[in-house]
Structure formats: C-alpha cells, structure tokens
Amino acid sequence: MKLSHKFILLLVVCLSAALLATIFVLKQVNDEAVHQATVAQESRIKTFWHLLRSKGHDFAIVDGNLLAGEYVINNNFEVPDKIQELFGGTATIFMNDVQVSTNVLKENGDRAIGSKLQGSAYNAVFIEGRPYRGETEILEVPYFTAYDPIRNQQGETIGALYVGVKKSEFFAAYTTLRNKLITVATVNVTIFALLSFVLVTRALRTLNRLTAAAQSVADGDLDVEVPVESQDEIGRLAATFNTMTSVVFKGMQFELAKANRMVTNIKEAIQQLSSSGSEIMAISAQQSAGATQQASAVQQAMTTAEEIAVTARQVAENAIQVEAQAENANTAGNSSSIAVENALQGMGTLKVQIMTVAEAMVGLGENSQQIGGIVNIIDEISAQTNLLSLNAAIEAAGAGEAGKRFSIVANEVKRLAERTAEATKQIKTLIEQIQRATNTTIILTEEGTKGVDAANLLVTRVADELQEILGLVKETTTAAREIKYSTQQQTSASEELASTIVEVRDVAAQVASSAQETSQAIVELTSLAERLKEMMEEELQEKGKAKTQSGARMMERILGQAISSGKLTLTDLFDEDYQPIPGTNPQKYHTRFDSFCDATLTNKQDEFLNDSQVAFAILIDRNGYLPTHNSRYTQPLTGDYDKDLKGNRTKRLFNDKVGLAAAQNEKEVLVQVYNRDTGERIWDISSPIYIQGQHWGAFRIGYIM
C-alpha cells in the first residue's frame, strides 16, 4: 500500500471514530428523549384518569352513550381539552373502538369524532385487554402514545383512554441539538481533512518523485534527478538518491561499454571459430570422402580380382566339362546318324503300309456302297410284299369262309414283310455308319500319307544337320582344350593380383579411419562454437527481454503523464485515422500523437542504442504504426528509394507478420526472428504497452544476430 494511502486511511479512521462518537452521543440523547416521552405519557394518562374519575368512578354504556357515573362523555370535550391545557399534546376517549371525545383535529379543523382505533393499540386494548405504550400514526402523523382500557363493573372493556404528543414536537429540541452537532462535526472534519491533505501532500510530493525516479531506474533509465525542496529527512533522502543514481549511471555506462566490447570480441571469435571449423570440416570431409572413395575403389578392385580368379577357375572347370561333353556329343552324334538312317528306312516301310491300308479302305467303301444298294432292293421287295399281303387279305375277306386260311397266310406274310422292313432299316443304318467311318478313315489315311511324306523330308534334313553338328562338336572339343590351358594361367595371375589389392585396401582403410576421426573432432569443435553462439544469443535475449520491458514501462509512464497533464487526450493517443503523407515511398502517415512523440520520445529511444548490439528501439501502436523512429533512422528524405528505405523509417505502418505479432501481442515478452526489409536478420523482442488499462501497442528492440 502506498504511503499516501496509509495517511488517507489513518485520516479516514480518525474521522470515522469522531463521527461514530458523535453518532453514539446522538443515539444516547435520542434514547433519553424516548424514555422521557414514555415517562411524560405515563404522567399524562394518570392525570387523564384522575380528571375522568372525578366525574364518576363507574363506567357504562347507556343508550349509546359512554357514561362516567352520571357524566356523559360523548361529544363532551371538557376533560381532553383540560389535558391539552395542562400538558399540551392530544387526548381522546373511545367508546368501544370509536372516538367520542377528543381534541385531535382534522385538516379542516373539525374534531376527529367517529374515527376508529386500529393497529397495535387496538390489538393490545380490545383483544388482549392490556395497556399499550409506543409510537402510533394518528391521521398519518407519528405520535408518542399511551392507551388504557376502560372497563365496566363486570370487567368488560367498553372503551379506551388515549394521550399522545407529536413525535416532531417532542423531539424539536433533540433535532435542534442533533443538527448543531452534525454541523460542528462536519466543519471540524472538513478543516481537519483539508489541513491533513495539504500537509500530507507536501510531505509526500518528494516521496512520490523519489518513487517515480526509482521506477525509472528500475525500468533502465538511470539518468534521472529528483528536485530537493526541503532540508528534512525526505529532502536529504532525495539528495542522496541523486548522488547514488549519478554514480551508478556513470558506472553502468562504463561497465556497459566494457561488456559490449567483450561481447563483440567474443562474438567475432565465435564467428571466426565457426568459419574456420567449417573450412576445416569441408577439407576433412573432402579427405574423408577421397579416402572413402579410394577404399571403396580398392575394395571394388579386390572384389573384381577375386571374382576374376573365381571366374577363371570356373571357366577352367567348365572347359574341362565342355571337353568331356563334346566327346560325349560326338559319340551321341554318331549314334544319332545311324538312328536317323534307320528312321528313314522305317518311314519308307510305314508309307507303303499306309498306302495299302488306304487302298483297302477305298475297297471297303465301294463294298459298303454296293451293300447299300442291295439293302435298298430288299426294302423295295419288303414294301411290295406288304402290299401283296394287304391285297391277299382283302381277297380273303371277300372269299368268306373259304378265304380264312388264306387270310392267315396273308397276315403272316405281312408280319414277315414288316420284320423284313425293320431289319432293312437297321442294316441301312449300320451301312450308313460304316460308310461315314470308311470315308473318315480314307481322309485320315490320305492325311497320314502326307504326314509320312513330310516326316520323311524332316528326317532327311535332320540327317544333314546332324552331320554339320558332328563337325562343330569336333571343333568345340579342340577349343575347350585350349581354354582349359589359358584359364589355368589366368587363375594364378588373378590370385596374385587379389593379394596385392588386399594390402592396398588395408592402407586405404587406415587413411579413411583417420579422416573420420579428424572429421569427428571438427564436428565437436563446430558444435562447441554453435553452443557458444547459442549461449551468447540466450544471454542477449534475456538482456533484451529485461530492456524491452523496461522500455515499455517507461513509455507507459511518459504517455500516461502526457494524458494527465493535458498534452494528449486518450482519444488522441488511440487515434487510428492515419493521414497519408504525400510523396513518400514507402508510404508514411501522420496521426494526432506523432508530433508529441517526435518532441518527447526520440532521445529516450536513442538511449537504448548505446548498446552496440541494438539495431533499433521503437514505440509502435497496436496496428504497427511507428510515430517516431531512432534518430539514425530519421535522416532527411532524398527521393532515392534505397537510401530512404534505410535512412528514414519513421511514421510507417510496419504491419508485416512480425510487426503485427509484436503490436498485437499481450504476453509479457515476445521474441521473434525478423528479416528486415533492408536485408538484416535480427532478433525482434517486444513487450506490450497499456494505457489506463487498455492495450495500446508495444515497445520493440531489435538485436543484431
């Protein structure tokens, strides 16, 4: 909690205590006033009973009138008026729950005769049969009241007595006292608060400045000074703070310059180490590759020599086999020649036999044709016989009894003719099958004869080719003997070559192994250089995060003070109506706050460039608009695009991917790799900026990679 808040809290506590004491006193006075009202009401109602009983002790309702002895109370205002005369206030007599005698007046000035008793007083008097004391509204006006039941001789409640006084009248003195106390307390509190505020404000002004200055130092701005306005403890603290920041600022500048030089030297050494390692790595890789290729070539040569030796041995073995197989082929060829001659003789005999079969089949075909003719004749005879038997049967039928035996003979002749016809059909069918088979056999025989002729021709050709094969086999036998002798010599030479290549291979393997060891050492060296580079970049990023957050807090403070002092409004600061600046390429823009930034922020941003690793330190809004760049990037425009792109980068919208990510980021810190449009590759570290709780933009610092 701030010290000013503690003072305010203490002031509030003191004033609250005084106020509570005043309230307590007023409460006591109020309670006493209520007690006095109750006592006064008891005195009044006792006097009321005394006056009424002086008229008569027995109460009764006779003929619609309430009587005290012989005294008629209805519309008789003597006693209530006497109470008012003695004590003030109001008094009423009820017959049952209806007012029959009262000094309570209506708004029109008439007495409130006929009004009925209601509420808590009615319940107490007429339902519970007991007195009632307390506040009651009469004609919507609060009264302190006292009610007693009126009973007849039988103890029945037949009416009530009432006395009361307006609460406002009774508390008039209390209200006056209360108002005076409140007025006095208010004046005292106001004077005390003003005096305390003035004293505390003057006392805390220097402390607030010290706090703001300390925050600036925490944000990285060491070049601050607090005005010394007094010689008390706070003034001496401000003077001591100024001395401390001056010493620390100078020391920090010296150490920062020293650290920057050291970092630059280490960075250059790492780059040289990495570059040298890369060159050595390339040379070693070439050597390793050459040795590997040489070893591979030697291995291939050795493998080839071994394969040649093995092949030579195989060729020699195959040559021996070829020689043996050639001898066997020669022997088989001679046997085949004899077999072919025998085949030629057999083919001639087969041809003669097939021709004989063909002639026999032709004769069979002719005979089957003749049999078919005979069968046709038998078929005709059978038809005629059948006709004759039919005629004989007709004649026998015409002869009567004499023709019966002839009819029997005719029937037998008919059956014989039918059987003959049936047998003829079967024979005819068989003859047709024999004729078809004979024709097929004749055709096949003719084709067989042609096949025998073709086979005879092929066998003749085989005999001729076989004679040529026998000649080639003899030549193969001779060549195989010569190959056998040559391959025996080649095998011996190949084995000697393989032995020599093995020695060369071992030497090449040693060279390749040494090259790999050298390459591994260089890889480790390069890895070490990369690790050193990563450590430097990690250190740079950590430093960049702290500086970026410090810059963001400083910008929040400057912009917040500008709003507080009236130099800018919140609307001005959040202006997104970017007005193009004519004739600029890349396009530049004006806003309602860029002139303030030009006048106020340039020097603050340039202080971050004292670090040689910092390429830029800038403020951007949430759309990537950059109102004021560092002075090194705010050079006069020349009209030359390339020069202006590098030398004048202010008032541009950097809404590229990296720029927008930095502008719209709301995390504590965002680290990105930024490929600048001028060709540099840098670390971009940004931290968000909030103005009065609203995200406004970011503070970006670029570090050279």
Tokens representing residue 613 in the block: 């690793």
Spatial contact of 323 and 480, defined as CB atoms under 8 Å apart = yes
The winner for highest mean pLDDT among 103-107, 268-272, 642-646 is 642-646
Report the C-alpha gap between 342 and 111 in whole angstroms.
Answer: 174
Pairing state between β 98-102 and 614-621: unpaired
Residues 239-247, mean pLDDT to the nearest whole number: 73
- CA torsion sign, 306 to 312 to 316 to 318? positive
Give the confidence band of 559 by pLDDT, cuts at 50, 70, 90.
Answer: very high
| Residue 79 pLDDT | 94
Q: Could you count the other beta carbons within 10 Å of the beta carbon of residue 686?
A: 31
Of 311, 334, 321, 308, which is closest to residue 480 (Cα–Cα)?
321
CB atoms under 10 Å from CB of 346, counted, come to 12
For tokens 């003072």, the residue is 7
Residues 6+ away with beta carbon under 8 Å from 472: none
pLDDT for position 663:
96
Closest by alpha carbon to 129, among 102, 147, 153? Answer: 147
Q: Tens of pLDDT along 291-303?
A: 567 667 657 756 7
Say if residues 703 and 614 touch (Cβ distance below 8 Å): yes
For residues 467-495, give the mean pLDDT. 65
pLDDT of residue 417: 66
Question: Is the Cβ–Cβ distance between 693 and 570 less than 8 Å?
Answer: no
Distance CA 96, CA 268 (A): 115
Mean pLDDT confidence for 638-648: 93
Q: Give the pLDDT of residue 364.
A: 66
- 660: exposed, middle or buried (C-beta count within 10 Å: 0-12, 13-18, 19+)? middle
- The mean per-residue pLDDT over the stretch 565-593 comes to 95
Q: In 10 A of CB 380, how many CB atoms?
A: 11
Tell me the pLDDT band of 568, cut-offs 50, 70 and 90. Answer: very high
Q: Span 522-531, mean pLDDT?
A: 69
**318 pLDDT exceeds 70?**
no
pLDDT digits (tens, 9 = 90+) for 105-147: 888 889 999 989 988 999 999 999 999 998 888 777 888 899 9
pLDDT tens-digit map of 183-242:
887 887 788 778 777 766 766 777 777 777 777 766 666 667 778 777 777 777 777 877
| pLDDT value of position 1 | 63
DSSP state of 124: I
- Residue with the two structure tokens 């300390």: 214
What's the average model confidence in pLDDT over 549-563? 95
The reported pLDDT for the residue numbered 164 is: 92
Q: Is 101 helix (H, G, I), strand (E, B) or coil?
A: strand
The predicted pLDDT at position 581 comes to: 96
Q: Which residues of 433-466 are buried (b: 16+ CB within 10 A; e: fewer)?
A: ebbeebeebbeebeebeeebeeebeebeebbeeb
The total of other beta-carbon atoms located within 10 Å of residue 268's CB is 10
pLDDT at 515: 60
Per-residue pLDDT of 3-24, as tens digits, reads 667 767 777 887 788 778 778 7
Non-local CB neighbours of 579 within 8 Å, separated by 6+ positions = 589, 590, 591
Instruction: Provide mean pLDDT across the span 334-356.
Output: 69
Confidence label for 574 from pLDDT (cuts 50, 70 and 90)? very high
Give this prediction's pTM: 0.37
**What token pair was written down for 307?**
């394969």
Return the pLDDT at 390.
75
pLDDT at 520: 74
Q: Where does the pLDDT of residue 479 fall: very low under 50, low under 70, confident under 90, or very high at 90 and above?
A: low
pLDDT digits (tens, 9 = 90+) for 410-459: 677 677 667 767 767 776 787 677 677 667 767 776 776 776 677 677 76
pLDDT score of 77? 94
Contacts by 205-214, CB closer than 8 A, 24 or more apart:
205/229, 206/230, 206/234, 206/235, 206/237, 206/238, 207/3, 207/234, 208/4, 209/238, 210/234, 210/237, 210/238, 210/241, 212/557, 213/241, 213/245, 214/241
Longest dimension (CA), the chain: 192
Pick the range with the lowest mean pLDDT from 183-197, 324-338, 597-611.
324-338
Per-residue confidence band for 696, with pLDDT thresholds at 50, 70 and 90? very high
Average pLDDT rounded to a whole number, residues 608-616: 93
pLDDT tens, position by position, 664-691? 999 999 999 999 999 999 999 999 999 9
**Parallel, antiparallel, or unpaired for β 90-95 and 614-621?**
unpaired
What would the mean pLDDT of 41-66 be, rounded to a whole number? 92
What is the percent of the chain where pLDDT is above 70? Answer: 69
Of 349, 351, 336, 346, the residue nearest 463 (C-alpha)? 336
Residue length, the chain?
A: 705
Residue 91 pLDDT: 94
Q: Provide the mean pLDDT of the chain.
A: 79
Dist CA 505 CA 388 (whole Å): 120
Give helix 233-399 / helix 404-565 axis angle, nearest 10°: 170
